[in-house]
Each structure stands twice: as structure tokens, then as C-alpha cells.
Amino acid sequence: MNQIETDIIIVGAGASGMMAAHFCAQQGKKVYLLDHNKQVGRKILISGGGKCNFTNLYGSDPKDYYSENKHFVKSALSRYSPWEFINLMIENKVDYEERLHGQLFCTKSAKEINRVLLSQLKNKNIKLLLQTKDLEVEKNDSGFRVYNKELSLCAPKLVIATGGLVLPQIGASDFGHKLAKTFGHKIIPMTPALVPFKISGFSSLSGNAFIAGITCNNHYVAENVLFTHKGLSGPGILKTSLFWNHGDSIEVNWLPSQSFTDLIKNTSGNIQVDTILKKYLPNNFVDLFFERIRLDGKMHIGKLSKIIQMDIEQNLHSMILTPDGTEGFRKAEVTRGGIDTKHVSSKTLESKLCPGLHFIGEVLDVTGQLGGHNFQWCWASAHAVGEHLA
């Protein structure tokens, strides 16, 4: 087998790897981009319900990320704003639309993003190799050898863009984490995030959705909550899951906009309590709510004792629920945790333990909140590594 010499090897042709190949090759560096899948960017294609929430118009900053080192993302994000990627979309005639909270989605399909990223790979300095299975990495005096039974590539620089653990069925692997460990990097424990909760007792409400306020570990989110067969989902829950650890409880405010006391003020004493609540919340939710708190919803307002009124108020606005778990890596959007950023340069994304080795995208302990922040991290970290290596 011939040994091929190149300038930069990138493993992983997902969001961050494809962008990094483009940035690295722009100034003439020879890049090999490898992926064990048959197709590039498979996660991009299924992201955002097939429309890819590719960035956030309001920008991404440290508060939009979960990481042991909150400041790590600052440098890369500050050098590649959402507008840089939006301009790339505009130049390539990708139609997009703004949804709630500045989230930008493709109007037609996420395939458009892959089309643009693939067109950037048509650079003569980039060689894309797919189905490169069972890759191994060896460090030597002149850099790195990346090889399998069919291939042997050598380069002084290696970029790992193999992502997190979500959806192994479409290519996710722990390749990057294992490799990082062999060079002495610590791995922050990995758990599924942006993921539905399993909570028993709500399956009869499956399909209902409304805005609720959720508090978990001092983080408050007020957004749509969707009832599922297994528990709770929807943006409010996915966002909350970023801050949740196994065993934690969440506090749910089912009616954040009104207090129960205000609702019953100036109301005729003959009206039933559930009739009032059904004006604001789905009927079947209200029925289940009273069942759960073991109170009679048919009680007339005039007959409510102060204690029962407080009980309803408390459960309506601060119900404590303890999820049994999450729906796991099969249903999550991202992996929380990953390669500890402590030994990675925030400016160049280069390992401080192994010169020449770089990590970008989700493989690192950088997890974005729902809203396009994960892709923005991919674009920005790819840009930072490109600036450094090109």
C-alpha cells in the first residue's frame, strides 16, 4: 500500500469537518477529509426536522453553551459570527426563515446546507474519502499516520471532527474520545442532552402541547411542553434537559402567565374549579391534574378552603416532577460532555498535550442550547482551526 503525504488530515465529514476542510484548503494547504459513512453530513440532513436550524440571528455566546469551561467558546465564536454563515447561505441562494428566538431554518430543506458544504469541497486541494472504516492513528516524529487496511496517510496536522455519541446508526462513534484519551486528555462524562424526559403518568395526554415554565438546577425555561407516550418533550423540555442530571427533580409551572388566586378573584362561588382552569389549559390536562393532586376539580369556588386553594396554587405553579430518565442517545440531539477543553487551546483548537492534534465541533465538551447554537459552534470552531492551519 502506498503511503500518501499531505498537509492536514481531517477525520469526520460532518458539519465541523466539512467546514474545516474548506477553511484549511483556502490558502493552498492539501487536505484529506475522511469519513466512515457513505455520505457526508448525515446529521445535518435530519437536523431541525429536516430544515436545519443552522444558526441563530441573535448570536451565540457563552451563556448559550454548557461546558466545564464556560469561557472556552468565546474566542472562536467572536471570530465567526452568525452573519458569516448567513452570507454563505445568501451567496449560494439558500432560502431561509426566522422562527422564534432568532432561530434560522432552511425554508426548503437541510439538503441545501449539504449542497453548499459539498460544493466547497470541490476545491482541488481537498480530497474527500468516504467509507474509510476502522481508522487507526499513530503519532511519529513528523506528525500523524492515519491508516486502515486500504489506506495510509501521513500529515503533520490532524483534526478530529468525529462528533458526539448521538445516533450511532448514522455514524456516531467514540473514535475522537478514545483517541484523545490515548494522548492524555480527560473525557467529561457524556450524557444525552436536548432530549425528552421519561416521566410516568402523563401518557393519556400524549399529543397535547402548551407553554409551561420549567426550573431545573436554577435554570428557568418558559416554552412549549409536549406530552408524549413516554413523558414530556417539546422545546421547553429539550432545553431543560441540558441542565438535568440523573435523579434531579424539575419544577413545572403549568400556567406561568396567571396566578390561581387571580383567576378565581371576582368569580361566582357557584363555578367549579376545573371549569375555570379549562379556560386556560386543555380539558384532559385539567382532569389529570386534579387526579394527580388528589383533589376534586368539581368543587365549587365558594367552597374552597384556604388550604386547598394553596394546594392548587402550589401544584399549578410549582409541581415537582422527577424524570425516570431521558429517552437516551437514540432520541437526543446532542452529547453533553466530551473531551475536556482544559487541555485544548480555545484560540487554535490545538491539543496542549499533543502538538499538531486538533479537536473541533461536538467531540469537545461544548454543548449548545437548542436554537442553532450547536451548528454555530461547529462553523466557528472549524473557522478557528482553519485560521490557524491554513
Ligand X SMILES: Cc1cc2nc3c(=O)[nH]c(=O)nc-3n(C[C@H](O)[C@H](O)[C@H](O)COP(=O)(O)OP(=O)(O)OC[C@H]3O[C@@H](n4cnc5c(N)ncnc54)[C@H](O)[C@@H]3O)c2cc1C
Tell the smallest beta-carbon distance from residue 156 to ligand X (Å).
Answer: 20
Is residue 64 part of the contact set for ligand X (CB under 6 A)? no
Under the binding rule (CB under 6 A), the answer on residue 167 touching ligand X is yes
Is residue 358 classed as helix, strand or coil in its secondary structure?
strand
What one-character-per-residue DSSP string does 64-116 give?
A: GEE-SSTTTTHHHHHHS-HHHHHHHHHHTT--EEE-GGGEEEESS-THHHHHH
Taking each helix axis as running N to C, give the angle between helix 111-120 and helix 82-91, from 0 to 180 degrees, rounded to the nearest 10. Answer: 90
Does the protein bind ligand X through residue 109 (CB under 6 A)? no
The stretch among 39-47, 111-119, 200-208, 292-300 that binds ligand X (CB under 6 A) is 39-47
Among the listed residues 286, 378, 380, 384, the single contact to ligand X using CB under 6 A: 378
Distance from C-alpha of 232 to C-alpha of 202, rounded to nearest angstrom: 8
Q: Does 116 bind ligand X (CB under 6 A)?
A: no
The answer to whether the CB of 110 falls within 8 A of the CB of 46 is: yes
CB of 146 to ligand X, least distance (A): 10
Among 146, 133, 176, 113, CA closest to 32: 146
- Asked if 161 interacts with ligand X (CB under 6 A), we say yes
Window contacting ligand X (CB under 6 A); options: 9-17, 76-84, 183-191, 262-270: 9-17
Rounded to the nearest 5°, which phi and psi values hold at 277?
Answer: -65, -30
For ligand X, which residue of 163, 192, 213, 231 counts as binding (CB under 6 A)? 163
- Is residue 190 within 8 A of residue 334, CB to CB? The reply is no
Q: What is the DSSP track for 242-270? A: TT--TT--EEEES-TT--HHHHHTT--TT
Site for ligand X in 297-356 (CB under 6 A): 333-334
Q: Which is nearer to ligand X, 134 or 296 (CB)?
A: 134
The single residue among 45, 46, 222, 319 that binds ligand X, judged by CB under 6 A, is 46
Select from 10, 33, 135, 195 the one that contacts ligand X (CB under 6 A). Answer: 135
Which of these segments, 238-246, 316-324, 346-354, 366-374, binds ligand X (CB under 6 A)?
366-374
User: Minimal distance in Å, beta carbon 74 to ligand X?
Assistant: 18
Question: Which of 289, 299, 311 has the alpha carbon at shortest distance from 210?
Answer: 289
Residues touching ligand X: how many (CB under 6 A)?
A: 39
Identify the three-state secondary structure at position 139: strand
Selected from 82, 143, 171, 231, the binder of ligand X by CB under 6 A is: 171
Query: Using CB under 6 A, which residues numbered 10 to 29 contact ligand X?
Result: 11-17
Cell of 309: 386553594
- Closer of 362 and 387 to ligand X (Cβ): 362
Stretch (H or E) spanning 26: none
Residue nearest to ligand X (CB): 14
Q: Which residues contact 218 (CB under 8 A, 6 or more apart)?
A: none
Report the residue from 26, 173, 249, 345 that binds ligand X according to the rule CB under 6 A: 173
Q: Smallest distance from the beta carbon of 288 to ligand X, in angstroms?
A: 29
Sign of CA dihedral 249, 191, 171, 88: positive
**Based on the number of CB atoms within 10 Å of its own CB, is 25 exposed (0-12), middle (13-18) or buried (19 or more)?**
buried
CB of 120 to ligand X, least distance (A): 14
Q: Shortest approach of ligand X to residue 34 CB, angstroms?
A: 6
Q: Which stretch binds ligand X (CB under 6 A): 59-67, 79-87, 163-171, 319-327?
A: 163-171
CA distances from 303 to 264, 286, 297, 313, 314 (A): 12, 19, 12, 16, 18
Which residues here bind ligand X, judged by CB under 6 A? 11-17, 34-37, 42-43, 46-48, 52-53, 132, 135, 161-163, 166-167, 171-173, 175, 333-334, 361-363, 372-375, 378
